[in-house]
Chains A and B, each alone.
Chain A
Amino acid sequence: MNISILYGTETGNAEMLAEDIQSELEGDHDVSCQNLSDVDPMSLVPEHLYLLVCSTYGDGELPASAQPFAEAMEAAKPDLSAIHFAIFGMGDSEYDETFNHGPKRLAELMLAHGATQIGERVAHDASGPEMAEDLAFPWAEEIISQAEERLGAAA
């Protein structure tokens, strides 16, 4: 399967996790990994499964590297109805009021432009006991198996 991992990061933690997911998956799939700041929302293609990894920053905002992507999306209003994505959030429950609001916003933006979300939005808690990759690797495998059923051999 063609998998594009796109990350939105502020401290680099989401970037590190995105790279870890890439390493984990690239034995079985064709995987690329890009910063959302380098991605044009008009360039997304139906043949790829998009795995978004995104943190939250400040008062529940998108992390800095996801902001240009969000702005471009709002300006260009691309039709994403053929696009499939899944999203993994990174947050810190010390700030419980805005916990994982960044990825929530990003998912809503994708959905608002017609994209189809696969699976649930999973959230890692930096103040919790688990390592992000221990949640993210099984999540990615599960998403891929769901996507394989849905997208079939086309992807």
Chain B
Amino acid sequence: MSLLSIRDLTVHHGLLRAVDGVSLELERGEVLAVIGANGAGKSTLLRALAGLNAPTSGTVHLAGRDITRSPAHQRVSAGIALVPEGRRLFRSLTVEENLLTGTYRKRSGPWTLQRVYELFPWMTERRRQNAAQLSGGEQQAVAIGRALLTNPDLLLVDELSLGLAPVIVRRIYETLPEIVAAGTTALVVEQDVSQALRVADRVHCLLEGRSVLAGRPADLTAEQVEHAYFGIGDLTQDGKD
């Protein structure tokens, strides 16, 4: 059974149909990257998976359980964690306190405060610092650590590279294999296509809320991805070529 199964999911953002009939399956231990241009509906898709935006129609199953209508906090218990766009650390809490908020639901799993400190060794020294004083890359790492401490089966990461220097982004992505090795499945949303193709087992490309291209990075040509990303040409034909 797939870990995550999305069928015909439609989500509205105000009057806009931000996600339009998307279906996808995600197996345990996989890394799936959802790519697409600005406004393609990637973030709305993740927010709907995390329970922040209610879908208009369609279903979401996690390990066979229907969670389409569950509120966000119950999905944390069910095993979904979202690293939100823009990091969103708790500004008045210290680094360690931010991390510890992830342990609130006390879900069992491989991730402990100690283990997160091993993943990002610099944090140990700075754990008493206020989270607002960190740099963007450091904040991103804390946001990932916080999500890991909920011990999710499925980790959703939204626009990790947004506003960060490429070298920082690469360093953070280098931790992804270790996270997946610990038993976590990852779904990342990424605007930086080359980065996404590097880390993902499979990619899904969204265009105006619809899934237009899916496959393994090795099976896709640069042209196919480019066309799907920008919506050039006849996509179905290109896909078959």
| Physical interaction between A and B | no
Chain B interfacial positions (CB closer than 8 Å to A): none
